[in-house]
Chain A
Amino acid sequence: MATLQQAIEQTTVTGNKAFIPYIMAGDGGLETLKPTILQLQQMDVTAIEVGIPFTDPVADGPTIEQAGERALAAGVTLRKVFETLASFKEEIHVPLVVMTYFNPVLAYGLEAFAEACVAGGVKGLIVPDVPLEESTILRETLNPYGIDIVQLVSLTSPPERIARIAAASQGFVYAVTVNGITGARTNFAHDLKGHFAHLREVSHIPVLAGFGISTPEQVVSMGALGDGVIVGSAIVTALHEGNLTKVEALVSASKGDLEKSTL
Chain B
Amino acid sequence: MGNSIANSVPSKEGRYGKFGGQYVPETLMTALLGLETAYDEAMKDPLFTDELTYYLQQYVGRETPLYYAENLTKELDGAKIYLKREDLNHTGAHKINNAIGQALLAKRMGKKKIVAETGAGQHGVATATACALLNLECVVFMGAEDIERQQLNVFRMELLGTKVESVETGSKTLKDAVNAALRYWVTNVEDTHYILGSALGPHPFPKIVRDFQRVIGEETRKQILEKEGRLPDAVVACIGGGSNAIGMFHPFVDDETVALYGVEAAGSGIETGKHAAAIAGGQLGVLHGAYMYLLQDENGFVQEAHSISAGLDYPGKGPEHCYLHDIGRAKFQSITDSEALEGLQLLSRTEGILPALESSHAIAYTAKLAKTMSTDDIIVVCLSGRGDKDVHTVRKALGGDR
| Chain B associates with chain A | yes
A: residues with CB less than 8 A from B are 54-59, 61, 65, 69, 72, 77-79, 101-108, 128-134, 151-158, 161, 165, 176, 179-181
CB pair A55 B302 closer than 8 Å: yes
B: residues with CB less than 8 A from A are 13, 21-31, 169-170, 175-176, 179, 182-183, 186-190, 283-289, 294, 296, 298-302
CB pair A152 B302 closer than 8 Å: no
Interface of B is mostly: mixed
CB pair A165 B287 closer than 8 Å: no
Report Cα–Cα, A151/B283, bound state, in Å.
Answer: 27
- Provided the pairs A106-B284, A107-B285 are in contact, do residues A154 and B26 lie with their beta carbons within 8 angstroms? yes
- Cβ of B188: which chain A residues have Cβ within 8 Å of it? 179
CB pair A179 B22 closer than 8 Å: no
CB pair B23 A129 closer than 8 Å: yes
Which of B22, B27, B179, B299 interacts with A180 by CB under 8 Å?
Answer: B27
Which of A55, A152, A161, A181 gathers the greatest number of chain B CB atoms within 10 Å? A55
CB pair B26 A176 closer than 8 Å: yes
18 new A-B contacts at CB < 8 Å, known A103-B286, A131-B24, A179-B186: A56-B176, A58-B179, A59-B25, A72-B301, A77-B301, A103-B294, A103-B302, A128-B25, A129-B289, A132-B26, A133-B21, A154-B27, A156-B189, A157-B29, A161-B30, A176-B26, A176-B27, A179-B27
- Cβ of A129: which chain B residues have Cβ within 8 Å of it? 23-25, 286, 289
User: What are 9 residue pairs bridging A and B, where the CB atoms are less than 8 Å apart in the complex?
Assistant: A103-B300, A108-B300, A129-B289, A134-B23, A154-B30, A156-B26, A156-B189, A161-B29, A179-B189
> Could you tell me the distance in whole angstroms from the C-beta of A142 to the nearest C-beta in chain B?
17
Which of A103, A134, A151, A153 interacts with B287 by CB under 8 Å?
Answer: A103
CB closest chain-B residue, reference A152? B26
- Cβ of A107: which chain B residues have Cβ within 8 Å of it? 283, 285, 296, 298-300
Which of B30, B179, B190, B285 interacts with A106 by CB under 8 Å?
Answer: B285
> Could you tell me the distance in whole angstroms from the C-beta of B242 to the nearest C-beta in chain A?
19
CB closest chain-A residue, reference B169? A65
CB pair A181 B26 closer than 8 Å: no
- Cβ of A102: which chain B residues have Cβ within 8 Å of it? 23, 286
CB closest chain-B residue, reference A79? B299
Which of A105, A133, A152, A180 interacts with B187 by CB under 8 Å?
Answer: A180
- Cβ of A157: which chain B residues have Cβ within 8 Å of it? 26, 29-30
- Cβ of A108: which chain B residues have Cβ within 8 Å of it? 300
CB pair A106 B25 closer than 8 Å: no
- Provided the pairs A107-B285, A131-B26, A157-B26 are in contact, do residues A78 and B299 lie with their beta carbons within 8 angstroms? yes
CB pair B23 A130 closer than 8 Å: yes
- Cβ of B288: which chain A residues have Cβ within 8 Å of it? 56, 58
> Could you tell me the distance in whole angstroms from the C-beta of B200 to the nearest C-beta in chain A?
13
Which of B182, B283, B298 interacts with A58 by CB under 8 Å?
Answer: B182
- Cβ of A65: which chain B residues have Cβ within 8 Å of it? 169
CB closest chain-B residue, reference A77? B299
